[in-house]
Structure 1
């Protein structure tokens, strides 16, 4: 892509918007190097990556990537066997840890069934180094300090350092808090030359003894290391030297372990940087409310309600822009400040963004072409240094574009032919547009020349366009009107602003009749287009309503057909059972008549024939479906009213209908939960309704009151076995009806037959929770205590 076109269309400003969304140097480098591609496969791959990242952003909040450092200089140092410091090793460890986390993240996405187009393969390029990652994270703290866990020796040295420091502080507390504190300038312990000292007044320097390490600027204070801590400080310094040596050894060892994996580490950093860049593309798409553009293999552009990405989305006016299908050139005419230049930039910048793999601020379903170059000649480029006028600058740019453009280029020209004599400028503009047409490039140009309106009408594969202007408010609407040339509104605007009517009339007389007729024709076209647009919007709304209604009717008809078929199937099955039963009964009647005829010989009596005929007639079923009991039961099963007890089939739960929400939706109460349920998911239940439950509860209460008088003990002694078992059965039923929880059956000891019979009965009764012999003082094994439930 030519740099002038990228600069003119402000592609770098789009990239600047994404800068703050990156967290790695490699991501920043990829963004800085981002250029529109011309290979459709590369463009599609870039768009696929952006689509994956937007899906991840929507589902998971984005790919988890922390701030990462550039490891390139670190790996170069490892290549010459240099040791990395703690901060550098921490940066390497952060990259390795992030690589492991990102690999796991994408594995989890795959397990969740999230479908991605490209990024799964990208994540698979990460090289897992779990042992190395674990060793680095164990040995180096996030801030670069060597941790105690790096080696046992280091941990031992640091314990010794801490104990020595504690001992030094303990001894020096005697100087700060004891009698000798009066010799100090301040009762504090401080450090000088990495040794613990106290601030002593100059006149008392001989009181404490020890070593003087520093003096205050005023000379009134000496920083003295007391004599009794000199040895401890020496021991501390020795331990600190050992600590530094051990830390250096650990850093050297870790650097040596990293050296063979330099290429893998850099490769992981590159993958993470690329994912960071893709993350930024997704965040920018979300910020713009942008959508994925579709690549057109036929070179067609169809931008639906496209907005300029650098304008405030709340105020930017979206436009539909089409090119490359019915026409390859658009001539946009109309007054200044109407939005012509913004329209050119919107088209050009949307095309550059799409070819760079970025989503565009347009409605879904927008199509873009793939151009080998996007040329732009927009704005006043007067150059004092080159002594070029505006016209010369534009012409110089157009000459370069003509020399470089191909049949697969997009050319955007603002105010073509401007800056010179109108007649010559118009003629030059027409000749240049014809030259681009000969090349075969797609062209969008803006102009004020009325001659180009006729050019847009006469030339093949060329169309006019204009920016809409509200004649009532005298303000542009910034809406692009394809197919309609712009009209001059200078006289109308001047008149509404208060210019004297005689001046307006004189201006109209000086305006050629052709220009007035052209403006009138354009005004009529604009009015007709507005009317057609309004009617199309109304028809589209009516069509949407009709389509919705048809969808609902189709769904209801399908529901009716399904229920009808189901009910007929049930009815047929029931009818088959009835027919089978009727056939069995008729066979029995006929067999009986034959038996009677054989026995009586002379024949069957008249009254017997009449009885048999009546029995056969009773088997006849009414063929009318209206009176079919099976269908009636099926219809009743699917006819619902508030208060009905129902089963929600999809959940298998019982509930009660509260109210009807729509033609086929009901509010069902299931315990404490209220749900909206379609009637196709409902079926009447045999469970009692709330009222029925209350009535049953009251009846149960009555039975309970009556049953409260029931006996809790049954004495079977002296009964015969069969009679006793019947008594036991009735007794248990009465106890259950009376809601008795525990009863006693006295069967005696005797031969043990009654006891055995009672035991077998109780074991087989499901309402018996448990049973056992009575206590010794209540009959022992001569009685059985039964618990019911």
Structure 2
């Protein structure tokens, strides 16, 4: 028993139906019932979560124009001939089924639970292919639906053309024109006729089919058209019979596949229903609740789903851990009833596989029954309740409730003498407390507040009332009872001040006045504490936001700094290359100034010029702050290091004195210990992942590592079309890469031409200390157009 009517769950189901895309899914929404099986509820919620993810991430959803074909399938089983509209609905629905099945077949990993519904979908290719040969894209019967239909429709078209041609000839005959009322072609009894004036009937040979309302015009079928009209009618009747035969054939095909179609209809409709639940969750900004395996209720910023989002006040409801009964007090119209309904309605939604409008992390148990006695005059079903009516409901609940149930009672004990009503209410609360049910009760009785303060398992709570504005805030506070604020509300509504003041005087004489003062003071302290808490939370959120902003700005600053440094280095490298080219030009000029007899002096001058150029300093990008210098004591083979001079990461292959051999991307380089620094954690993990990645089998042989590295380095460069200065830079970089890769012989292709490019390259090679010798390539290697270089 779930008291859906009292909690207005039908309105939730109606809203859910509004978000469903098909007729069957809407019916499923209106028939939705809460469940009590843990696995079924969890599976339903998880399906809804997958559909929510689909709505939020997929560009196109798998929902596309299914129709309700259940009646058509049932009629076909009784050998009814289905109409064109019904057959068309079957056809487009089959297409929608296939598209949905294809979507979930390709999205099985993303939506595993929903994809299970599309597994073992029946094969409808045969019926779909037959329908495709019958209907066009707009659902009209194709002329080619059958050979006979093609022939009949061709006959109809040609016969109509012949009839219209003969009629036009009759109408345009000058001798006949005086007979006609209007020179138009019309039809009577599905036969083509001509309007003829009554007075000329005896002059126009034909069959009369109709007379105008005035009697002045006769609709006559000319005798020369009788045979053609007969042929047309015969073809039209034949067409109707053939269309009926085709519909009968298709209906039989539907009957043959009706079981498969009904099975597919059930599966697809379930998917559409789940997507409707997801759409409702998005509209309500709802989340998936965590199912409690015990009896814990913890709703965080829960919202009543039937109150507009821009008007509802979120509330926190806790129940089932330290206490099982929550007693809510407070002013009228302050939100007590809304709090009761919020808990009951969200519990129903959760056990129906729906998301709840609350914050993530909210927890709800599974209730076997939800009993509610809520007299809410704002509800369309509710009415003013008498004490007898309330007691009747409470007695029914007492007879049927158990420890796994939720009980919601509004204004317990009201409607009778306050002393008897409060005593009876305390006794009823004690019964439910001993029964062990989870319970939420609203009341105005001070005796119940006092009872809750002194009884284990029961907790007081109240809906907040702002005495400064004399208006309720609708916030629920647990731990302190509240006052009814009847006098304040009456004053705000316009009750004369002298009456209100007199009532306060009378109240001060009652025994409960001291308790009211204590409650008022506690509530004021609670309000101030809540205000401070909200203020602190706001400051904390602002602090977190500012910290995040600072972290973001710091990251952006570091990235910009690195970009500037890299750009500066690139410019410096370009400057160095420019200086080298300019230096070579100077050297060339020096060579021309020295005589052959001063060869040694000339060579010294050249070397000094080159030395000056080589000493040009290019600033390096500062290393990461996390890197540190490496000592020989801590360095070992296999360590990941950062080579500062090459600005690259590498793995240590060997250590010899103060020289370290490093593998950099498959290339071997020997550097000084002072050129090495430690790596950051991210860089080290990156190199290790790359080293652990599967390698081709040919790379696994120890003896082939150097050969493989040499294969990865170019052994030939083509500088055709470059100037001597450009070629010098290209050859310099090429030689450096070859040396780093362990290659000892390379070839430079410069072409023959005038010989100036070859001469410039040769002059430059003579200045390089790592060049052992060079020579013009052999005839089969390019001859005078290439140069072979042997490196030291």
TM-score, normalised to structure 2, is 0.70
Displacement of 1:395 after TM fit?
0.9
1:199 has 2:177 as partner = no
Cα pair distance change 1:205/1:458, threshold 3 Å? farther
Per-residue deviation, residues 485-518 of structure 1 (Å, max 9, x unmatched): 1123234456676844696266335434643322
Choose which of 36, 43, 49 in structure 2 pairs with 1:45. 43
Cross-structure match for 1:761: 784
1:38 counterpart SS class: coil
Displacement of 1:201 after TM fit?
2.5
Distance 1:572 1:59 in 2: 45
Contact 2:332-2:484 within 8 A present in 1 as well:
no
Displacement of 1:249 after TM fit?
2.2
Cross-structure match for 2:450: 454
Q: Which residues in structure 2 correspond to 1:292-303 (within 5 Å)?
A: 292-303=288-299
1:532 has 2:529 as partner = yes
Q: Could you say what the CA RMSD is over the residues aligned between the two structures, in angstroms? A: 4.2
Cross-structure match for 1:423: 419
Displacement of 1:550 after TM fit?
10
Cross-structure match for 2:518: 521
Displacement of 1:81 after TM fit?
3.6
Displacement of 1:142 after TM fit?
6.3
Cα pair distance change 1:230/1:456, threshold 3 Å? same
1:124 has 2:119 as partner = yes
Contact 1:199-1:222 within 8 A present in 2 as well:
yes
Cross-structure match for 1:85: 83
Choose which of 270, 282, 286 in structure 2 pairs with 1:286. 282
Contact 2:17-2:27 within 8 A present in 1 as well:
no
2:326 counterpart SS class: strand
Displacement of 1:420 after TM fit?
0.6
Displacement of 1:394 after TM fit?
0.9
Displacement of 1:583 after TM fit?
8.5
Displacement of 1:316 after TM fit?
0.9
1:221 has 2:180 as partner = no
Cross-structure match for 1:150: 145
Distance 2:413 2:214 in 1: 82
Cα pair distance change 1:397/1:171, threshold 3 Å? same
1:507 has 2:516 as partner = no
Distance 1:241 1:727 in 2: 91
Distance 2:32 2:777 in 1: 99
Cross-structure match for 2:772: none
Cα pair distance change 1:224/1:764, threshold 3 Å? farther
Distance 1:577 1:242 in 2: 92
Once structures 1 and 2 are overlaid, which stretch shifts more, 544-553 or 61-70?
A: 544-553
Cα pair distance change 1:580/1:548, threshold 3 Å? farther
Cα pair distance change 1:445/1:506, threshold 3 Å? closer
Cross-structure match for 2:105: 107
Cα pair distance change 1:733/1:339, threshold 3 Å? farther
Cross-structure match for 2:626: 564
Cα pair distance change 1:241/1:12, threshold 3 Å? same
Per-residue deviation, residues 347-374 of structure 1 (Å, max 9, x unmatched): 1111111111111111112111110111
Distance 1:578 1:35 in 2: 73
Cross-structure match for 1:98: 96
Cα pair distance change 1:531/1:167, threshold 3 Å? same
Contact 1:27-1:277 within 8 A present in 2 as well:
yes
Per-residue deviation, residues 650-672 of structure 1 (Å, max 9, x unmatched): xxxxxxxxxxxxxxxxxxxxxxx
Displacement of 1:66 after TM fit?
4.1
Cα pair distance change 1:186/1:16, threshold 3 Å? farther
1:564 counterpart SS class: coil
Choose which of 756, 770, 774 in structure 2 pairs with 1:730. 756
1:445 counterpart SS class: strand
1:235 has 2:261 as partner = no
Per-residue deviation, residues 365-392 of structure 1 (Å, max 9, x unmatched): 211111011111111699xxxx996111
Contact 1:333-1:448 within 8 A present in 2 as well:
yes
Distance 2:242 2:252 in 1: 15
Per-residue deviation, residues 523-545 of structure 1 (Å, max 9, x unmatched): 22223323333443455456664
Contact 2:627-2:677 within 8 A present in 1 as well:
no
Cα pair distance change 1:756/1:160, threshold 3 Å? same
1:320 counterpart SS class: strand
Per-residue deviation, residues 165-205 of structure 1 (Å, max 9, x unmatched): 12222222334555345533333322221112232222233
Cross-structure match for 2:347: 351
Contact 1:338-1:477 within 8 A present in 2 as well:
yes
Contact 2:752-2:785 within 8 A present in 1 as well:
no
Once structures 1 and 2 are overlaid, which stretch shifts more, 305-314 or 133-142?
A: 133-142
1:469 has 2:541 as partner = no
Q: How many residues align?
A: 615
Choose which of 73, 76, 101 in structure 2 pairs with 1:75. 73
Cross-structure match for 2:164: 169
Contact 1:413-1:445 within 8 A present in 2 as well:
yes
1:479 counterpart SS class: strand
Q: Which runs of 5+ in 2 are unaligned?
A: 560-621, 631-640, 661-671, 688-722, 727-750, 764-775
Q: Which runs of 5+ in 1 are unaligned?
A: 585-620, 639-648, 650-696, 701-724, 738-752, 767-789
Cα pair distance change 1:117/1:408, threshold 3 Å? farther
Cross-structure match for 2:31: 33
Contact 2:628-2:677 within 8 A present in 1 as well:
no
Distance 2:623 2:526 in 1: 46
1:257 counterpart SS class: helix
Distance 1:388 1:727 in 2: 110
Contact 2:286-2:357 within 8 A present in 1 as well:
yes
Per-residue deviation, residues 297-328 of structure 1 (Å, max 9, x unmatched): 11211111111111111111111111112211
Cα pair distance change 1:170/1:241, threshold 3 Å? same
1:570 counterpart SS class: strand
Cross-structure match for 2:600: none
1:339 has 2:335 as partner = yes
Contact 1:290-1:359 within 8 A present in 2 as well:
yes
Once structures 1 and 2 are overlaid, which stretch shifts more, 520-529 or 451-460?
A: 520-529
1:304 counterpart SS class: strand
Cross-structure match for 1:713: none
Distance 1:502 1:418 in 2: 25
Per-residue deviation, residues 115-149 of structure 1 (Å, max 9, x unmatched): 22410101114212112212113213466543223
Contact 1:100-1:130 within 8 A present in 2 as well:
no
Choose which of 9, 12, 16 in structure 2 pairs with 1:11. 9
Distance 1:175 1:342 in 2: 84
Once structures 1 and 2 are overlaid, which stretch shifts more, 229-238 or 185-194?
A: 185-194
Contact 2:289-2:355 within 8 A present in 1 as well:
yes
2:512 counterpart SS class: helix
Contact 2:752-2:784 within 8 A present in 1 as well:
no
Contact 2:23-2:67 within 8 A present in 1 as well:
yes
Contact 2:326-2:459 within 8 A present in 1 as well:
yes
Displacement of 1:430 after TM fit?
1.0
Choose which of 55, 58, 73 in structure 2 pairs with 1:57. 55
Cα pair distance change 1:210/1:735, threshold 3 Å? farther
2:441 counterpart SS class: strand
Distance 2:262 2:125 in 1: 16
Distance 1:466 1:55 in 2: 38
Q: Which residues in structure 2 correspond to 1:712-723 (within 5 Å)?
A: none
Displacement of 1:756 after TM fit?
8.0
Cα pair distance change 1:582/1:252, threshold 3 Å? closer
